[in-house]
Structure 1
């Protein structure tokens, strides 16, 4: 992986990890997220107009935006479904395991090949993502069948796997889309279109809840709006320069940022599996730099 896309993904990971850290502090996460998504097109309106004037924008390319938006909404819905039916320690790592799908999808649709070092990096990152949420290294008690028969377990796992698959799909789609339009224009239109989903969600909330969330967290909401767009634009530029598989794997280093901020600022407990998981993600991320 070349130096520039490697650096862009790391910067994106820092931005992504920090906005998730800000989002953690929300009182009502639905109100917080919807407000931040609605602010994004307003904050970046002037840069969007300037970019369109310089680079141009063909309306025929809008279908790339529509497909990207539909994949993103599908991801939000699958995540929501998995979190409602599964414990966070199961839903979170499974839904983040898009790196498992990316090598195969990139090969099928883009003819992208990765070397042995690349495969090792993907495996290490994937293992790290699975390990980070664990409280301890402990095998399930197979004599206790409740963990298997838990109501909604199968459907919850289906949603979690589907969430990971949709992340892989919209990452791959982003690579295809920016071959036909400027990365920032794609991201702006994609964010604007996504409000078709977030606006009705916001309207269903009580106004007092929305007002309270804004009064308590307006600067955090604005920060998330700025960093969310910035993070994905950096990823799109990295996708234009590097392989989808390596960009997707290295992007998981945002988890390292999130764990670090949680420990340093929020005083969250850092378990042994979390330390091991962070080490695996860092090792896998470093190997993407050496992979071809």
Structure 2
């Protein structure tokens, strides 16, 4: 049950940093400085909050390095999707990652899924697609859609490395190393694309700091939960972030409560119940 709650909390924080990223004018710059704020905060509290994890494990760092390549690519592709298209039209494509993850988890991690659990995964992904449907459209396949689908594919491999990383003794070192490598990779990309200038996010500096703290909460809580829950179930539960995103959009941005949002919410809730029963 505790792992279940950690995953749900991580879904909330995941949706929150996505909303902060979507509202930023320059999404590449905001993405980098958000991760930079996260790693600064993580570095400051590591010896204070996690002193028992202050030791080095070569295998854990290597796993974190590989995972960070996939997750950095995912973040860059998501930023590109937000840049080229209305994300509400293409976001459902990013929910394809649990399908990829289920395949990798069964093949490589030898996870066994119950009928109820698998049904819950399918319902959660379907509900997310319905939740993000706009009137008359399920998504237009253009540049934004292509970037979103590619993001889901790369995320699935990162998730596979995640499970390996958190299964080791020093999973805090894994999360820290992954966060550090991701910040470095996004920095290199931002330098090459010319999107690193702080002036791009200067007016949003307090939002950047807040987003960094949110990213930290998202990274840590998800990996804590992943220690206790099968990867297949964890990745599906993470899709509840769409539900939180829709609710926050209604509360903070005065978005309309549509039939699709209501129906998608009900389907997602049913999926969560199925996953919980099947765990």
User: What is the TM-score normalised by the length of structure 2?
Assistant: 0.88
Matches within 5 A, 1:274-289: 274-289=261-276
Matches within 5 A, 1:62-73: 62-73=61-72
SS at match of 1:253: helix
CA RMSD of aligned residues (A): 2.6
Structure 1 gap segments, 5+ residues each: 141-146
Return the offset for 1:139. Answer: 8.3
For the structure 1 residues 212 and 112, does the alpha-carbon distance in structure 2 shift closer, same or farther, using more than 3 Å as the test? Answer: closer
Partner of 1:46: 44
Larger deviation, residues 268-277 vs 256-265: 268-277
Query: Which of residues 240, 253, 265 in structure 1 aligns to 2:252?
Result: 265
Partner of 1:219: 206
Partner of 2:118: 119
Q: Is the 8 A contact 1:41 1:192 kept in 2?
A: yes
Partner of 1:10: 8
Matches within 5 A, 1:1-292: 3-50=1-48, 53-55=51-53, 56-79=55-78, 88-136=87-135, 153=142, 159-203=147-191, 204-205=194-195, 207=197, 210-211=198-199, 213-214=201-202, 216-292=203-279
Task: Give a deviation string over 1:100-143, Cα, whole Å, max 9, x none.
Answer: 12222111011111111111111111111211221225689xxx
What is the distance in 2 between the residues matched to 1:138 and 1:206? Answer: 35
SS at match of 1:44: helix
Return the offset for 1:82. Answer: 5.2
Task: Give a deviation string over 1:80-110, Cα, whole Å, max 9, x none.
Answer: 5655666634431112221212222111011
For the structure 1 residues 173 and 201, does the alpha-carbon distance in structure 2 shift closer, same or farther, using more than 3 Å as the test? Answer: closer
Structure 2 gap segments, 5+ residues each: none
What is the distance in 1 between the residues matched to 2:257 and 2:95? Answer: 19
Return the offset for 1:255. Answer: 1.2
What is the distance in 1 between the residues matched to 2:219 and 2:126? Answer: 24
Return the offset for 1:45. Answer: 0.9
Q: Is the 8 A contact 1:34 1:201 kept in 2?
A: no
What is the distance in 1 between the residues matched to 2:82 and 2:30? Answer: 18
SS at match of 1:57: coil
Figure out how many residues of one structure are paired with residues of the other and give that number: 276
What is the distance in 2 between the residues matched to 1:57 and 1:134? Answer: 46
User: What is the TM-score normalised by the length of structure 1?
Assistant: 0.84
Which has the greater radius of gyration?
1
What is the distance in 2 between the residues matched to 1:206 and 1:69? Answer: 19
Q: Is the 8 A contact 1:263 1:269 kept in 2?
A: yes
Q: Is the 8 A contact 2:15 2:244 kept in 1?
A: yes
